[in-house]
Structure formats: structure tokens, C-alpha cells
Chains A and B, each alone.
Chain A
Amino acid sequence: MQLDLGVTTGMQLTEILGLSELAENVNIKNVWVGDDITGAHEVFSVTTSILLKNKDMNVGIGITSPLIRNISTIARASTTLAQIAGDKRFRLGLGIGGLQELNKLGITLRNPVSMLREASILLHRIWNRETVTFESGHFKLSHYRSAVRVGYPIPVFLGIRGPRLLTLAGEIADGAILSGPKTYLKKAVSMVRNSIAKSGRSEKDFAFVAWLPTMVTQKPSDIRLVKQIAAYVLSDTPQNVVDMAELDSVRVETLKKTYQRRGIASAANLINEALLDEVAVCGDVRQICEGFQAFRKMRFQEVVFGPPYGAKPRAALSAVADAWGDYL
């Protein structure tokens, strides 16, 4: 199982580029860039900069949403990045996007399964340079033909939650970026694997990536921060995932309401040890590595060391990458 770096477009650019450079220096091969829809930077531009500055790393978008960009833009931006990357270094992650962020932008979600299925099909047709005419409730293209050639098949990962989307990933994607409670993740991997088998595909052609909030914690303020992140994650978690994770539904519902009414700090007070353990990987460096090891048992091929990292992100990344060598 590979250790990856995760960054998001809401972070300071100096930190994104600094951590990516450091990751390359400590032999981390993959970076994933999460699209904070309301963050300060644009995901394709950030990914381009990382690719340009780190010539040996695979860089993926994990994830961006067709709800916020025209499908033709996602297709050609991916083509551009694949061209810049060369040597099969670019991977595209598609998903719905954070429910709260979409809400803030006034975007309503309708039938995400058909949306992601259509998005994936359209991307491949555009990349194959077909003349595409297509109309649905989600997308509209008319005699559209890309003028740009793609050098290699761009792997499409789905960043998804919930049974129907997990099944879809097994049917059409090259990989899945999964996040959420660990009990849920175990079941999610199993669902995707079943779907892969039912679709007559090989698991060898599919990659599972786990991305949970991770943090090297040393003092009480670190724990407070990671609890806040956990509260944010849970407040954005759909009920079907809460059920699959066998979490205390009442507590999670209370947490969601508290988050909406009184903010993240109050919601974080409702995160107990069990919830924290389910939705985050934290502790000292050894505990983090042990936590990651659990994903190997779940058949993940990649695990992401992502925000908030630790009080000193660079030191945390170095320490975890160094310790991870003992687990390979």
C-alpha cells in the first residue's frame, strides 16, 4: 500500500507547493488535490503547478464535481493536464462535491448516479474525439468535438459515498477515492468489489484510495482541531453512510443540528473517542502508521496523508513518511 499526500485548494498555495515538494523528496509518489469549491484556488491550476514543479510524481484531482463545471471544461482541462504531465502522471477524480459547499452555492443535487455515469461516458467520448450530441437533465452537448488529442487513457476515479454510487464505481471507474467512517469503508470496499466482479471486470485494473482527515497530535489543541474536522466530516455525511457505519444516529443528528445552529466548535464538543476513531486517523506518528495499516487489510492500495496533518505540517509529513518505511 502506498502512502500518498492529500492537499486541498482551500490551503495556502505556498503550503500546497511546499508539501508537494517535500513529499517528492521523501519518496511519496502520489499527490491528490481536493477541490474546495469555495476555496481560494482553482483545482486544475493548482494541479498544473504541482505537476510542473514535481516531475516524478503522479498528481490526481480528488475530486472535482461536474455540478460546478461544464463537462467540456473538465474534459479539456484534464487533457491539458495529461499533456503537461506526460508519462501517465495525471488522474482525474470525479464526484458530487461537499453537500454543504454545494448548498452555499445554491446548487441542487438531482440523481447523482445518472449524473456521474453520464459524466464518465461523456468524458471518454470527448477524449476519443467523437462528435458528441447529447442532452439530459445534467448535460447538453451539440455537435461538440474536441480539437485536442489525449496521449493516454486518463484514469477516472470516483470519489463517492453510498451504495448506489459505490456500485457505479465498480461498473465504470478506474478507481475509487473513499472517505468516511472506517466501519463504512470496510463495507464500501466490499460493495465496490462485488460490483467489479458483477461487471466482469478485473480488480487488478481498479485502485482503492482511502482519504480521511489525518493529524499527528501532540497537545490538547491538536485534538480540538482534529475533532472540529471530524465534526465537519460527520455533518456532511449522508444518513445512508451513517447507517452503514453503524454510528450512533441520534448523536450524529444532534451534531449536524449543532453545527448548523452553533458552529463547528460546538459541534466538535459532541465528538467522542469512538466517533473520532471512526472518521479520522490521529495520534503520534506510530499510531498514524498503525491506523493506515488497517486500510491495507481492507484492500486499499493507497492511503492519503491529508489535512490537517499536524501543528507543523511539514514536520508531520516528514515524520510519517519516514516511519512509513518500516511498514512497507
Chain B
Amino acid sequence: MKFGLGINTDETTFEIVQKCILAERLGVDYVWVSDAPVHLFAPAVVAAVAENTRKIRIGVGLMSAFLHSPRQIVHSLVTLIETYGERFELCVGPGDRNMLKSVGVSARHPAGIKHFFEDTRRQMRTLLGKQGIDFRLWLGAQGPIMLETAGFYDGVMLNYAHPDHIKWAIERIKPIRPRGFQFGIYAPSYVYSEFDPEIHRLLRISSAVVALGASDAVLKRLDLSGLVAESKRKFSEGAPLRAVVDGVPTKAMDLFSISKSTGELGSYLAELSLLGVQHVVFSYPQNHDETTIQDLAAALKGWARHKSR
């Protein structure tokens, strides 16, 4: 299994770069730099990270294919690869619906979302072929239609953390996946040696954001529709996150986030490994500070030692 640290781009580039340098020093396989319409621009942040690190692999994304054209996304990656070498992977997906709406972008397509993401993949591969450049192209997926589409990509980043739902998602993709296809999960995470309620509160907020941005189909399947509907409506009408987050049931945390002590993480990873998950990205608030990054790295080293025995 490979492990990544998810990096939110709502900090300064200096802070982000320092955290990535630390992750590299601690032996984390990847950093994944997310892109959101209200935060820093991921490709530029990634360049700063690459300039200041030597070998850690860097994931770009999730980049919303509704917000950025395939040409812009590919050209960003081509620029990064030509400047810093083949250290990059890319994850595209729809992106957070509420944030897209706030910048006037619809997460719908007249020909359907499946067609849109198949076409996005085709355009990207064509452009990359012209440049003679290749990298792993992930699809960020959660709902049934996106999962059906994932087979066209090199891998899928599932936006789930609960093993039951990961299993459900993997089983939907398995029949259509090509050779070499990779399964990954990308989830708000808090792996800790000493529990800090404040960081746990941030985890709850991050899980709520995932629930609020989930499609109706996903919420229905998870029996969350009724429970989240009111908060989702208020949020999409512009209510601030802090005003709606308490309306999202704590169940969302179990479904979408990883909350484990360093001692508990191993058995969870073992379960994921049995399901076929090959990549786990621990996203915000795991990157909260040096301690949370160190705790994660220590837990992963413990897991690696356990595996090698």
C-alpha cells in the first residue's frame, strides 16, 4: 500500500511547503494538493512544493473538470513534469457542487456526467500523447455513475472511509477495470497519538463538507438524504458553513472520515488492504500541524514494520 498526506490549499504556500518537506523527511509516499475555488491554485502550489522537495511524489487534485478545461489541466501537468520530472499524478472529478455553484459553474452536463468524464479522459490522453508525456490519471468518485466511469481511468480515488462502502464501490468497478487499475481512498483523517478534541472538531467539519457536497444519489444510498437535506439546502443558498455544520449527523463522520489512534490504524489498513485498496490519502485535518503529520508517519511506519514481520 502507498500512503499520502492530503494538503489543503487554504494555508500560505510557505506553510504548505514546510509541511511537504516534513512529509518527505518522514518517508510519506505522496502529498496530494487539493484545488478548490476558494483556495490557492493547486498547480502553482505544487510547483512550489516540487521546487523545495526532491523525490516525494506529488498528486495534483482533485481538480474539477467542470472548472478547468482538460487542456488547462493537462498543460499544467506538462509544465510541472517538464520542470521537475516525472513525480506527479493527477486526480480529476466533479469537485464540490456548492463551491462550483458559488463560481457560476454547474456540475451537470447536457450529455450526462458519464459521457463528460469519458470525454475529459479522452481529451487528456490525446493532449498528453501529443506531448509524449504520461502520468497516472485518477478519477475522484463517490456515486454510482462516477464509479461506472472510473474504469476509463488509471485509478479511482474513493471519497469514502467506511469499509462497507469502500467494498460496495470496489465491487461496482471490478468488472470494468482495465489491467493495472488502482484503488485508492481520499478521506478527511485524524490519526493521533494523543487525542485533541479541537482537531477532532475539524474532522467533523470536514466530514460534514463531504456530506454537504455529495450528490443526492449518494446521500440516498447512505440513508443520509433526510438528515442532511435541510443543511444542504441552507448551505447551497449561501449560509456559512459554521451555521449548517451542526445539522449534519455525526454518522457522516463514520462514512466519510478516518478517526483512529496510531494503535488502531493498522487493523483498519489491514481491512482496506483485504478489500483491494492500494492507496490511502489522509486529508485535512491530518495536515493540521507538525504533530499530526508526525503521528501519521509514525503510525504508517508501525504498520510497515508489522507487515514486514
The answer to whether A and B come from one shared complex is yes
Residues of A within 8 A of B (CB): 9, 13-14, 17, 38-42, 44-46, 48-49, 52-53, 68-73, 76-77, 79-81, 83-84, 133, 135, 139-148
13 contacts between A and B (CB under 8 A): A13-B82, A39-B75, A40-B75, A41-B82, A44-B43, A45-B44, A68-B69, A72-B37, A73-B67, A83-B40, A84-B13, A133-B238, A144-B38
Bound complex: CA of A147 vs CA of B39, how far in Å? 6
Given contacts A45-B75, A141-B104, contact A76 B41 (CB under 8 A): yes
CB of B308 within 8 Å of the partner chain: no
- The listed residue (A41, A53, A76) touching B38 by CB distance below 8 A is A76
The 8 A-B residue pairs with the shortest CB-CB distance, nearest first, are: A140-B104, A143-B238, A77-B41, A45-B79, A42-B75, A42-B76, A48-B47, A80-B44
CB of B203 within 8 Å of the partner chain: no
Q: Is there contact, CB below 8 Å, between A144 and B102?
A: yes
Q: Is there contact, CB below 8 Å, between B13 and A144?
A: no
CB of B243 within 8 Å of the partner chain: no
9 additional contacts (CB under 8 A) given A81-B41, A144-B102: A42-B79, A45-B75, A76-B39, A77-B41, A83-B12, A84-B47, A140-B103, A144-B103, A148-B39
- The listed residue (B13, B44, B67, B75) touching A70 by CB distance below 8 A is B67
Contacts of B104 in A (CB 8 A): 70, 135, 139-142
CB of B101 within 8 Å of the partner chain: yes
Bound complex: CA of A48 vs CA of B295, how far in Å? 32
What per-residue 1/0 map shows which CB atoms of B73-87 lie under 8 Å from chain A? Answer: 001101110110000
Contacts of B238 in A (CB 8 A): 133, 142-143
Contacts of B80 in A (CB 8 A): 45
Contacts of B69 in A (CB 8 A): 68
Contacts of A142 in B (CB 8 A): 101-102, 104, 238
Given contacts A52-B51, A73-B67, contact A42 B72 (CB under 8 A): yes
Q: Is there contact, CB below 8 Å, between A45 and B43?
A: yes
Closest to B36 in A: A147
Q: Is there contact, CB below 8 Å, between B37 and A13?
A: no
- The listed residue (A13, A73, A135) touching B83 by CB distance below 8 A is A13
Bound complex: CA of A145 vs CA of B99, how far in Å? 10
Bound complex: CA of A140 vs CA of B103, how far in Å? 6
Contacts of A139 in B (CB 8 A): 104
Closest to B48 in A: A84
B206 to chain A, nearest CB (A): 14
Q: Is there contact, CB below 8 Å, between B79 and A148?
A: no
- The listed residue (B38, B44, B103, B131) touching A77 by CB distance below 8 A is B44
CB of B290 within 8 Å of the partner chain: no
A100 to chain B, nearest CB (A): 16
Contacts of B103 in A (CB 8 A): 70-73, 140-141, 144
Bound complex: CA of A13 vs CA of B80, how far in Å? 10
Interface size class of B (residues with CB under 8 A): 20 to 34
Closest to A37 in B: B71
Closest to A53 in B: B51
B77 to chain A, nearest CB (A): 8
What per-residue 1/0 map shows which CB atoms of B19-43 lie under 8 Å from chain A? Answer: 0000000000000000001111101
Closest to A17 in B: B83
B95 to chain A, nearest CB (A): 11
Contacts of B201 in A (CB 8 A): none
- The listed residue (B10, B48, B71, B131) touching A148 by CB distance below 8 A is B10
Bound complex: CA of A38 vs CA of B41, how far in Å? 21
Closest to A72 in B: B103
Q: Is there contact, CB below 8 Å, between B76 and A45?
A: yes
Q: Is there contact, CB below 8 Å, between B41 and A73?
A: yes
Closest to B102 in A: A144
Given contacts A70-B67, A142-B104, contact A41 B78 (CB under 8 A): yes
Bound complex: CA of A81 vs CA of B40, how far in Å? 9
- The listed residue (A69, A71, A140, A141) touching B72 by CB distance below 8 A is A69
Bound complex: CA of A146 vs CA of B226, how far in Å? 30
Question: Looking at B12, B101, B104, B105, which has the most chain A CB atoms within 10 Å of its CB?
Answer: B104
Closest to A45 in B: B79
Bound complex: CA of A40 vs CA of B83, how far in Å? 13
Bound complex: CA of A99 vs CA of B248, how far in Å? 49
Bound complex: CA of A45 vs CA of B45, how far in Å? 9
Q: Is there contact, CB below 8 Å, between A48 and B44?
A: yes
Q: Is there contact, CB below 8 Å, between B40 and A80?
A: yes
A148 to chain B, nearest CB (A): 6
- The listed residue (B43, B48, B131) touching A42 by CB distance below 8 A is B43
CB of B174 within 8 Å of the partner chain: no
Q: Is there contact, CB below 8 Å, between B102 and A48?
A: no
Contacts of B45 in A (CB 8 A): 80
Contacts of A148 in B (CB 8 A): 10, 38-40
Given contacts A70-B67, A73-B67, contact A147 B47 (CB under 8 A): no
Bound complex: CA of A80 vs CA of B46, how far in Å? 11
B14 to chain A, nearest CB (A): 8
What per-residue 1/0 map shows which CB atoms of B255-297 lie under 8 Å from chain A? Answer: 0000000000000000000000000000000000000000000
